[in-house]
Amino acid sequence: MEAVKEKSCSEQFLSELYKNVKMGADSLINLMPKVQDGALREEMTAELNRYEEFAKKIGDMLYESGVTPKEEGFMTKLGSKMGMAMNTMMDSTSSHLAQMIIEGATMGITENTKLIREYENKSCSEKSLALARQTVRFMEDTVERMKNYL
Question: pLDDT digit string (tens) for 19-74?
Answer: 999 999 999 999 999 999 999 999 999 999 999 999 999 999 998 888 887 776 67
Per-residue model confidence (pLDDT) at position 6: 47
CA distance 27 to 82: 11
Nearest to 20 by CA among 114, 142, 121, 87: 114
Provide the pLDDT confidence category of residue 79 given band limits of 50, 70 and 90: low
Torsion angle defined by CA atoms of residues 86, 43, 139 and 58, in that order, rounded to the nearest 10 degrees? 100
Domains of the chain: 9-149 (1.20.1260.10)
